[in-house]
Amino acid sequence: MRVTLSKHIQDPIIFKQQLLLWSQQFDDVVWMDSNLHNTAYSNFDAVLAVDAFTSIQTDYIEAFDKLQEYQESTKDWIFGYLTYDVKNGLEQLESSNYDGLEFSDLFFFQPKKLFLLKGNQVEIKYLNMVDDELESDFEIINSFQIYETVSESSAIKIKLRIHKDAYFEKVNAMLDHIHRGDIYEANFCQEFYAENAKINPLETYLNLNAVSRPPFATFLKQNDKFLMSASPERYIKKEGCTIISQPIKGTAKRSVDEVEDQQLKYDLEHNEKERAENIMIVDLVRNDLSKTAIKSSVVVEELCKVYSFPQVHQMISTVTSKISEDTKPVDILKTTFPMGSMTGAPKLSAMKIIETLEESKRGLYSGTVGYFTPDGDFDFNVIIRSILYNQSKKYVSYSVGGAITSKSNPVNEYEECLLKAKAMRDVLER
């Protein structure tokens, strides 16, 4: 059981920073921040879960069955992640590329301490065993002094796992598959990395978030492994009997000149290639949601709508469905994972081809972080625009990708990757 206490906070921005500083004493941390992007499907401005009471950590074999058992047995808030490679337990697939990060395939934990922020209110939920710490923790958090952090980072030298000429060769190989009819579209990704690297994970996250201010920002700590994510994309959400998926396909740069910026947005809205990419993934998402949906309940609420973020314009669609009350929450994830925006169409063929052409195991990149509520609702993001760090190995990594279709130009695709990578590289090299 949990003890719940509501508190008024004077300055939500300062309180969020104080919470994050306080959270660093724990081995298990999930912080999710909407950066005040209040949409029709927002529940909280930010959420913090810390200090595992129970947890599950497993490889991809029967991962969803194990997650379902854990979710049903706890009947509580649980937070965690699924890596992209959980797909290997769903189909005859493998992930044998290089992995410098070594995240487990699946990890969820039941937090002892939970903070839900909305406006000037914070709802604090503590398990009974630590409820006597609730008031004192709140006082300690409020007493934290916000200061300019002193960087613990070493000089970062970014390397490419796939160099430019090899990238062009691989995209052309992907185009050959498309022209043969093996696939219509595939998301092809490349890794940028640094070895013998030392960074301050929280400082890195705060700097990345300040640059991008996305609606699905995440800071995750699992012992010596960290995720610092500026994700703009929701993978999937369950709210009662409603399921919401919001795939992103289509990216354009921003301009400081307002007239030019509006033209860039207009050009993205009317770009046939970008719209075709988005619509193909929307069709894939509709098909995935139909596996658990009540008949005729899958609806495209928004198609190819362009949203503007500090670094880029993004083309986003919203697809919803209705499920019956007896549908198990984990089955929604199982029948839609991995998300279509990070795979391609047809999904299985695309995943097989991706594995042969990419050089790095995706791991947590293009997986998902999120949470389940005690009622079985959930909300999960797509792990893109993210820096990953294995502190023990001193290995830093970020990956970027793009949708390859019959209309793709390898040079343009490469430039789009560099645009998506800019914020991560700037933060690491500053």
Please give the positions annotated as active site: 233, 249
**Rounded-to-integer distance, Cα 60 and Cα 76, Å:** 23
Q: At what angle do helices 410-429 and 201-212 cross, to 10 degrees?
A: 130
| Spatial CB neighbours of 31, under 8 Å, sequence gap ≥ 6 | 19, 20, 23, 46, 47, 48, 218, 219, 220
Q: Burial of 369 by CB count in 10 Å (0-12 exposed, 13-18 middle, 19+ buried)? A: buried
φ/ψ region of 36 (left if φ > 0, alpha if ψ in -120 to 50, else beta) reads left
**Rounded-to-integer distance, Cα 288 and Cα 348, Å:** 12
For residues 384 and 424, the answer to whether their CB atoms sit within 8 Å is: no
Longest Cα pair distance anywhere in the chain, in angstroms?
Answer: 65
| Helix, strand or coil, per DSSP, at residue 375 | coil
Count of residues making up the chain:
430
E strands, 281-353, in order: 299-308, 312-322, 344-345
Cis check: omega of the bond before 374, within 30 degrees of 0:
no
Which residue in 423, 341, 410 sits closest to 162, CA to CA? 410
CA 102 to chain centre: 17
The number of helix segments (H) and strand segments (E) in the chain equals 10, 20
